């Protein structure tokens, strides 16, 4: 089985991640997911591609800590986080988060918590490639 927390260049399958989460326990009664994908427009400009850079070792460590924090804080049964570090086009997948809990509230709350915290804690940066030039993206809440 693939690790619950990964940084990878290649695309991921939401179905495979959800299936892996479901298979982790028969006590799971609700799974909430977040899928982040690339847009073709940002800050009033067309975006041709988005490239990502990470402080890999720290990013993976922070993502693993984040998963454990969410499990403890919301009483999750399990959770998965996958982030791509690659050059992607509009519509491509970027990040996938899934939270599995006995009931929906914990799953929704934990999923929101993990993506919000990921943006604050995990050292990953995105650069938008536009017809007018390239620009590193500042924080998006």
Residues within the interface to other proteins (CB under 8 A): 36, 52-55, 57-59, 61-62, 83, 94-95, 115, 118-127, 136-140
Nearer to other proteins, 22 or 64 (CB): 64
Closest distance of CB 127 from other proteins, Å: 7
- Dihedral sign (CA 18, 19, 22, 24): negative
Measured between alpha carbons, how far is 63 from 50 in angstroms, rounded to an integer?
21
Q: What is the closest distance, in whole angstroms, from the C-beta atom of residue 23 to other proteins in the complex?
A: 26
Instruction: Find the shortest distance in angstroms from Cβ 102 to other proteins.
Output: 27
Cβ proximity to other proteins, 11 vs 25, nearer residue: 11
- Report the residue number, 16 or 116, with the smaller CB distance to other proteins: 116
* Closest CB to other proteins among residues 38, 77: 38
Q: CB of 32: closest distance to other proteins in angstroms?
A: 16
The answer to whether 80 and 97 have CB atoms below 8 angstroms apart is: yes
Residue 134, beta-bridge partner list: 129
The H or E element that residue 125 is part of is: strand 124-130
CA 78, chain centre distance (Å): 15
Taking the C-alpha atoms of residue 130 and residue 124, their distance in angstroms, rounded to an integer, is 20
């Amino acid at each position: 089985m693939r690790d619950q927390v990964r940084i990878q260049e290649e695309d991921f399958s939401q179905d495979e991640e959800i299936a892996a989460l479901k298979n982790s326990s028969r006590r799971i009664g609700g799974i909430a997911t977040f899928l982040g994908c690339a847009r073709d427009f940002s800050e009033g400009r067309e975006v041709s591609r988005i490239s990502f850079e990470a402080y890999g070792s720290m990013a993976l460590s922070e993502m693993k800590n984040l998963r454990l924090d969410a499990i403890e804080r919301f009483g999750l049964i399990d959770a998965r986080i996958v982030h791509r570090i690659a050059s992607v086009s509009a519509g491509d997948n970027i990040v996938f988060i899934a939270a599995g809990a006995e009931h929906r509230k914990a799953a929704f709350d934990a999923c929101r918590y993990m993506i919000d915290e990921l943006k604050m804690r995990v050292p990953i940066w995105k650069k938008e490639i536009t017809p007018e030039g390239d620009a590193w993206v500042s924080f998006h809440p």
